[in-house]
Every structure is written in structure tokens, then in C-alpha cells.
Amino acid sequence: MASFFCSRVLARRRLVESKTSWCFHRSRYLAAPVHATKIIESNAIGCPTASSRFSFCSRPLNLDDAQGPAVVDYRSLLQEDEFHRLADATIHDLQEKFEEYGDCIQIDGFDIDYGNQVLTLKLGSLGTYVLNKQTPNRQIWLSSPVSGPSRFDWDRNSQAWVYRRTKVSLYQLLQSELEQLCGKPISLS
């Protein structure tokens, strides 16, 4: 039997068999179709070896389809030193403006903290803003109690940090939200 099987796979190094089966998610007990792929390894003369392995994925395995990650245009990214200069200047400017703003409003729990390159603006029961640099992406990330997370890229044309989804600048967003939360306008530009 082994010699019969060995002769059938002599010309091939691997035999790939795809089968569809059902898989149950352990925590939710939901059934979903899953494709199981069994890869049978063969030795130097083409006979199958004892080591075979299974690979489970949510779609059929297509060995001919060479899909890769999306192409990134690195020319549009800032150089790292320019990114740090712009991001640090922005964060320090915001820290100063927030401190001035805190002197003008009366909010219990108002606090500003800057450490480990993270600027935190606490507005007591109104929520907390967290602003930090993301060097690999050349972005400033903002966590807002009003609008949630946002990622700002430097826009060379407008010379501002802009959220690409909404086209709003970091300063515009903060001015709008802080006035909405605190009831007093703030000028960040």
C-alpha cells in the first residue's frame, strides 16, 4: 500500500487537499464554515513522511494568489527629525494653551500632565484627552471623550495636523470640543 501511494506522489513534493468543515467558536458556540487544508510533506524520493500539518483559515487557501500588504508611499511621510520637531512643538504649544485655559475656567478635577511624550488633559467628570506621538506612522494620536480616537497627519499645504477622514485640523477639533464641554471658547491657533 505504501509503495502504491509512494508511486502516485513521486513527481510531487507536497499534496494539498482542501476540505470545508464546520467550526464552533468555543465561547459563543456559533457555527461558521472553515476551510481545513492538510499539507502532506514528502521526502527526497517523493514518499509521504509522518509529519503532516493542518492549517485552518476563514477562506480557501489559494497558493497561486500572491496578495501582499497595500503599498505605502514613503515619499509622503515626514523625515523622522522633522516629524519630532513639528510634533514636539505642537504638543508643547497645546500644553501652554491648556494651562492658560485652565486659569480661565472653573472645573473640578482640571489637570494637565506631560510625561513620556504623552500630554493628558483631565477635565474632571467631563472626561480626559490624551495626545501622543506615533513616530513609525508620523502621526499625532488623540483620544477624546467627545469624538473618540483620531490620528492626525501633517499636511504640508495647510501647515497643520489634519485628520484625513474628516479633514479637520487638530486645533479646530480641540477648540470646538473644549468649548462644547467647558462652555468657554479657547483659541489654539
In the predicted model, is pLDDT for residue 20 greater than 70? no
Share of the chain above pLDDT 70, in %: 60
Asked if 121 and 174 count as a contact pair (C-beta separation under 8 A), the reply is: no
Distance CA 86, CA 8 (A): 65
Residue 67 lies in a domain: no
Residue 52 sits in the same domain as residue 85? no
Do both 48 and 84 map to the same domain? no
165/86 same-domain check:
yes
- Residue 82 inside a domain? The answer is yes
- My answer on whether 39 and 132 are in the same domain is no
Give yes or no for a contact between 123 and 182, defined as CB atoms under 8 angstroms apart.
yes
Nearest C-alpha neighbor of 77 from the set 151, 135, 126, 131: 135
pLDDT band at 44 (very low <50, low <70, confident <90, very high): low
Mean pLDDT to the nearest integer, 82-109: 94
Domain encompassing residue 12: 2-57
The model's pTM is 0.60
Residue 78: its pLDDT value, please? Answer: 86
* Domain match, 45 and 92 both: no
Question: Do 50 and 81 reside in the same domain of the chain?
Answer: no
Whether residues 80 and 144 share a domain: the answer is yes
Residue 61 pLDDT exceeds 50: no
Q: How far apart are CA 131 and CA 153, in angstroms?
A: 13
